[in-house]
Amino acid sequence: MKITDILSQETMILSLKATSKESAIDEMIAKLADEGKINDVSLFKSEIMKREQESSTGIGDGIAMPHAKTKAVNTPTVVFAKSEAGLDYDSLDGQPAHLFFMIAATDGANQTHLETLAALSRLLIHPDFVAKLRNAKTTQEVVDLFDQEQGAAEAEQGVTSHNNEAPFVVAVTACPTGIAHTYMAEDALKNKAKEMGVDIRVETNGSDGAKNKLTADEIERASGVIVAADKKVEMARFDGKHVLETPVSDGIRKPEELINKAIAQEAPVYHHSGEKDSDASDGKQVSIGSRIYKDLMNGISHMLPFVVGGGILLAFSFLLEQYFPQAKTLTDMLGAISGGQTGAFMFLIPILSGFIAMSIADRPGLMPGMVGGLLAATSNAGFLGGLLAGFLAGYVVLGLKVLFSKMPKTLEGLKPILIYPVLGLLITGGLMYLIFDPIFANINTFLVDQLQSLGTANAVILGTVLGGMMAIDMGGPFNKAAYTFAIGVFTTTGNTDGAFMAAVMAGGMVPPLAIAMATSIFKKKFTLDERQAGLTNYVLGLSFITEGAIPFAAADPLRVITSCVLGSAIAGGLTQFWHINVPAPHGGIFVVGLANHAILFLLAILIGTVISGLLYGFWKKEI
């Protein structure tokens, strides 16, 4: 496949009018939309800007390569644009950008398309070719230049031949989307190594997976390892080697510097713990808040299957007990495997704690975290105690790793099988048992007493807030915070009240149902694909799967989120105004029969859905 099959004259702009980065992006996206290459301008732009936030695609030397791989793309396409005056694109070298290549790849881009995009990226490493492009006056001249250069570029692909007398280094290149920077860094390193008389072997970790994978023999023989990556790559194989970790953009801009450092073994020796690779190797600095949120979400995501599986089976056991008292054996079995002291609910807090700790300290954190969570659950310290146990265990094990980092290498094997489990459990368990469990048991008891003594007005306010939070990010931190709070109250009170579960369940069901309603009533305002997606939201909404509304929120965040938050907040507040209880943590429409006021619960959801659906429908613009 030729590059000009995806870079056609119809998608070229030889005189870009834009004077700023975002206006340039908008102008190129408009060209894609005009040619029918994308089906959702908002979604495509959001993916382009998301990539720009990770690091600027203005790679320097006057070139910018904004790119995204998304379902908003109909056909893999490249827009070529030129700005004679140049514009500030936040390029890595601080210089104005003159040449722009906007790459639009489909979610399911086939191997041929991916290889063609890689070939395009490699061409832009050559200064002579870039200079010819800048001087091109017509779209046909641009096409001819690419046709002439592609053959030569393809001939240069592959591995440089090894010379036993020459220095030898290995490298891995990878960018988050794996479309352009991955291959540009590969070619920059290989070209510079050829100039320097250095043998190099480069593995690419692109959209089509790892290519030209490094062998154990090559890694062993190399003087040093270059990992030019903005995403996680396999690191265990580099144990004991001098590894230079750097952003993928450095592979493009500073290949000589990286190769010299690798040859001189100036990078630190990499030591792998024998555990899974952590996210620290992705080349990016992570804020404390982001790190804490990531660790917390790791615990919650592993806990949710226990909530859903145990919660729905527990709901069935309640239904059987209520309507079929003669099925006592089945009811007892469902109750035993889902709740109480023996079932799935018993694991909620230990799993939460264990996987928070594992996110922080890898596998050695799992066991002390789970035991700390179990101590919190059995001592009435509840969810708050469990959260503390997870973070405590994780950072205790991290401290142990630092403390024992200087042990002789011959004793390394003792760490994961003896030192971390014994000392991690002793310190975490001791602190929880002696200090934190009693403290959090008292805090938890106080909070439960306050919640149970709430008057109607305060309960309505809290229900309104919880319901609205379920719709703010539809599965993100606000949604999870509200749901986790309700789960905590549900499991900690020791009864099957479920008042706040009613608020979060109603609030979480409204967004997808409102989207479904709007697409059904205001058909002229939605495309065929959107109306079809709207139909699936009926099922998702009734099943309490809020995430069904996310594609619509991503495409039109202001209207969708505002409308849904309003309806969800009203639905959540109404459940508390009418004193509705749902003694099940999940299930949506399938557990309505358990509600003490089932009709009112359905009415609260219906009112919230109608308000959100009508507001969104009237507010949305015509196609």
The position carrying tokens 């973070």 is 391
Set 98, 175, 242, 586: catalytic member: 175
* Residue 507 token pair: 């609030």
Q: Where are the alpha helices (DSSP H) in 473-597?
A: 477-492, 499-521, 528-542, 550-555, 557-577
488 Rama sector, left if φ>0, alpha if ψ -120 to 50, beta otherwise: alpha
DSSP 162: P
597: annotated active-site residue? no
∠ CA(577), CA(582), CA(587), 5° rounding?
A: 130
Set 67, 98, 113, 586: catalytic member: 67
Please give the Cα distance from 169 to 393 (Å, whole number): 39
State the amino acid at position 517 in one-letter form.
Answer: M
Pairing of strands 77-87, 97-106: antiparallel
Residue 235: CB atoms within 10 Å: 20
Question: Rounded to the nearest 10 degrees, what angle do helices 328-338 and 288-323 cross at?
Answer: 170
Long-range contacts formed by 133-139: CB under 8 A, 24+ apart: 133/82, 133/99, 134/62, 134/82, 134/98, 134/99, 136/14, 136/82, 137/14, 138/14, 139/9, 139/12, 139/14
Please give the Cα distance from 39 to 105 (Å, whole number): 12
Residue 107: CB atoms within 10 Å: 10
- Torsions phi, psi of 241, nearest 5? -100, 155
Q: How far is CA 77 from CA 28, 97, 153, 174, 471, in A?
A: 11, 21, 20, 21, 35
Evaluate whether 585 touches 502 at the Cβ level (below 8 Å).
Answer: no
Residue 3: CB atoms within 10 Å: 18
The position carrying tokens 């990770």 is 54
* Residue 202 token pair: 């480069």
Element (H, E) at 154: helix 139-156
Burial string for 176-190 (b: 16+ CB within 10 Å, else e) reads bbbbbbbbbbbbbbb
- Burial of 463 (C-beta count, 10 Å sphere; 0-12/13-18/19+): buried
Q: How far is CA 417 from CA 13, 235, 237, 287, in A?
A: 62, 21, 21, 31
* Among 387, 546, 524, residue whose Cα is nearest residue 475: 546
67: annotated active-site residue? yes
Burial string for 315-354 (b: 16+ CB within 10 Å, else e) reads bbbbbbbeeeeeeeeebeebbebbbeeebbbbbbbbbbbb
Pairing of strands 97-106, 67-70: parallel
3-class DSSP state for residue 341?
coil
Please give the Cα distance from 96 to 88 (Å, whole number): 5
Catalytic residue annotation? 67, 175
